[in-house]
Structure 1
Amino acid sequence: MSKATEALIDSLSADLPAVKPGAAARRLALGLGLGGAVSAAVMLAWLGPRPDLAQAIATPMFWMKFAYAAATGLILAFVLARLARPATRLGTLALLATIPFAVVVAMALLRLSQAPRAMQPEMLMGHTSMVCPWRITAIGLPLLAGAIWAVRGLAPTRLALAGLAAGGCAGALGAMIYGFACDETSAPFLAVWYTAGMAIVALLGTLGGTRLLRWR
């Protein structure tokens, strides 16, 4: 690097304020927190909590559903924090993000293999399969807006990938919130229809990321 280039870099960075440690994480937490609050308000005003929520939270399947969505959202939030900074490697985080889905798919296949053939369609389709992904999408949109706002103020360089992580995180956290209104607890249902809702929000994030996350 020439002395002239070094002098130019020094002059451009001389007046920049120091960035406090953890600033990116705090901004992401703020964006997702505000988006999550709006998403929860949308769920409560639109659908309301399931009538038997007090009894449902005492069952393992309710917490399995909650853990699937929450773990996916949390891991993708860490992925997003990495992608919000330039020239960072994802390392094992990318693989880690697939583990909750793999666990739910394995549970779904096991449950289907053990169930009588006549019960398998009901386990897979439930009674809300045609609305579940779209409800998760609607509830996840405020979270996606919060994630996009947060990342726009940082320095992502892989915009489509950052948008994918933002959408995936928002979709998973939206599914977690929707779980308090939904009474479906079958593992095959979750593996297909909850994942479909998360995937729709992830797709919207990917499509929007290339435009909305550009540096201004």
Structure 2
Amino acid sequence: MKTDDLIASLSADLPKVAPGAAARRVALGLGLGALGSTAVMLAWLGPRPDIAEAVLTPMFWMKFGYAAITGLILAALLTRLAKPAVRPGALVAVAAVPFVVVAAMALMRYAQAPPEAHRAMLMGHSSMVCPWRIVAIGLPLLAGAVWAVRGLAPTRLRAAGLVAGGCAGALGAAVYAIACNETSAPFLAIWYTLGMALAAGLGAVAGSRLLRWR
């Protein structure tokens, strides 16, 4: 039997996948994970006491928007990587845009501030716990992402794991922003980004084991 005939016979009985099925599954997994992450944040830390006033400030929305937009871009990238032999394309470059924007804003604010304010801008009062809180809050999101991708057909397991972890970390950071009262752009650029990176690393390490599809 010729190779083309063999491939045709093997694929003849495969069920057709509805358009958008991968995106819906990823959205469901991340949606359920977001509910879990929100429950963890509320039970563990709770919203910041001045949340009603905070939502009226630009910095709150900068923190939340940076994390949420990054997470949504990575969710789109994860949907692509969850399909067999699909290249990520321009989404890789798009995913870098929020990081570049926040880094540029942080550098500008840092340069404009007096030297005596620099340490506080960089370290805030929660730098030692912020990244780890983001990772912990993002764990339910990571579980949802893993569930979603395992039901699809990724072929680049480590890359898919990296993006799943980054997506979970970014959306977890958006949830954490409701509890966090840091107000410095340099703090956001360093410690929120580090939390996302740690979650991405966790996903990459686990990807080859957890994302094998059946």
Of the three residues 120, 126, 135, the one matched with 2:133 is 135
The correspondence of residues 134-213 of structure 1 with structure 2, limited to 5 A, is 134-213=132-211
Q: Tell whether 2:33 aligns with 1:72.
A: no
- What amino acid maps onto 2:198 in structure 1? I
TM-superposed CA distance for 1:7, in Å, is 3.6
Structure 2, unmatched stretches of 5+, are: none
* Structure 2 residue aligned with 1:107: 105
The residue aligned with 2:116 is 118
The CA deviation at 1:194 is 0.5
Counterpart pick for 1:94 among 92, 95, 98? 92
- Identity of matched residues, %: 71
| Deviation at residue 10 of structure 1 after TM alignment | 3.2
Which one-letter code corresponds to 2:72 in the other structure? L
3-state SS of 1:98 partner: helix
> Runs of at least 4 residues of structure 1 off by over 4 A?
none
Q: Secondary structure at the match of 1:15?
A: coil
Q: Aligned partners of 1:60, 1:206: CA distance in 2, in Å?
A: 33
Distance across 1 between alignment mates of 2:19 and 2:110: 48
Deviation at 1:210, TM superposition (A): 1.1
The amino acid across from 2:35 in the alignment is: A
1:166-188 deviation line (CA, Å, top 9, x unaligned): 00000000000000000012100
TM-score (norm 1): 0.96
Q: What SS is found at the alignment partner of 2:59?
A: helix
For 2:2 and 2:96, how far apart are their aligned partners in 1?
47
Cα shift at 1:14: 2.9
Match of 1:46 in 2: 44
Aligned residues: 214
- Residue 12 (structure 1) shift: 2.4
Between the aligned partners of 2:8 and 2:85, the Cα distance in structure 1 is 21
Match of 1:83 among 53, 65, 81: 81
Deviation at 1:9, TM superposition (A): 2.7
Amino acid of the residue matched to residue 58 of structure 2?
P
